[in-house]
Amino acid sequence: MANIYDYPKYYDIAFSYRDTAEEAAVMQRAIDLYSYIPVKTILEVACGHSPHLQDMLRLGYSYCGLDLNPAMLAYAQEKAADLGHNITLFQGDLADFNLPEPVDFAYIMLGSLYVQTTEQLVSHFASAARAIKPGGLYFLDWCIDFSPLTNTRDAWTCRRDEIEVKVRYSTRLLHPAKQHYEETLSALVRDGKQRLHLNHTNIRRAIYPQEFMLAATYLNDFEFVGWWNDWDLSLPLDEVTRGIVRPITILRRR
């Protein structure tokens, strides 16, 4: 079955339930509140099709993205060209990367912190610390597992113009000691007369809150700024005991 990451247009529709303008505004507010440096250059880690690109360009930021998948990067580049902007994209692994110049702000969306081992987790934050200027923020959407892993299932449908994408997402616990679980994303696409089945399965490592702290703030050069529930900077997670949904976390480069 074809890989959904090789079909960025359909991937884009599958995750289009987000209000990217509102999310960009939250990131801007976080910068205003917590960044120690003015922000001009930004990096999206695991950028994929760069869903917030237009919103971030509109706010005046200069955009860089990092991703493993060439089809995603080509799609993002085309989107920027259509908007009349130059952006800089790097093909690389978030577990170990180097940028030619550090940026003022970095972000990672939808829990995309794909690592399989503790070494990769620590190395990711070392890479991120090299990539962000001192005083700059690293903004993480989800990425941390605030509850012990269980098997989960979810399903939703998104539409754009004549295209319908029915999505299924599931996780299956594989190895509790390694904190490994299998994540499967599949989509049924109806695009005019065409029907496509897309899929992506990978193994990833759960990241629990206090080991996240260790990797980012003890073993690497970040300080913890805070974490909040549901993309709401007025809802600190430390006051939430259940019902954690789409938490965001902010680190600042020391």
Ligand X SMILES: C[S@@+](CC[C@H](N)C(=O)[O-])C[C@H]1O[C@@H](n2cnc3c(N)ncnc32)[C@H](O)[C@@H]1O
How many residues touch ligand X under the rule CB under 6 A: the total is 18
Sequence-distant (6+) residues with CB within 8 A of 59 are: 24, 28
**∠ CA 21-232-116 to the nearest 5 degrees?**
85
Q: Is 51 in the site for ligand X (CB under 6 A)?
A: yes
Q: Which range binds ligand X by CB under 6 A, 27-35, 106-114, 165-173, 187-195?
A: 106-114
Query: How many residues appear in the chain?
Result: 254
Q: Which of 2, 59, 110, 225 binds ligand X (CB under 6 A)?
A: 110
- By CB under 6 A, is residue 126 in contact with ligand X? no
Rounded to a whole number of angstroms, the minimum distance from the CB of residue 140 to ligand X is: 12
Restricting to residues 224-243, which ones interact with ligand X according to CB under 6 A? none
Note whether 114 binds ligand X by CB under 6 A: yes
Interface with ligand X, residue 55, by CB under 6 A: no
Q: Which is nearer to ligand X, 160 or 254 (CB)?
A: 160
Binding residue for ligand X (CB under 6 A) from 13, 47, 187, 237? 47
List of residues 6+ apart from 139 with CB closer than 8 A: 27, 30, 105, 106, 107, 108, 248, 249, 250
Residue type, 120: Q
Which residue has the CB atom at the shortest distance from ligand X?
A: 48
Judged by CB under 6 A, which of 3, 77, 93, 163 binds ligand X?
Answer: 93
Pairing of strands 248-253, 222-228: antiparallel
What does the block give as tokens for 60?
């005046």
- Between residues 18 and 240, which has the closer beta carbon with respect to ligand X? 18
Question: SS3 for 198?
Answer: strand
Minimal distance, residue 67 CB to ligand X, in Å = 4
Site string for ligand X, 188-227 (x = CB under 6 A): ----------------------------------------
- Candidate list 23, 55, 67, 104; residue touching ligand X; CB under 6 A: 67
- Residue 15 in the binding site for ligand X (CB under 6 A): yes
Give the residue from 230, 217, 181, 232 showing the smallest Cα distance to 202.
Answer: 181
Instruction: Give CA–CA dist 47/49, Å, rounded.
Output: 6
CA distance 193 to 176: 44
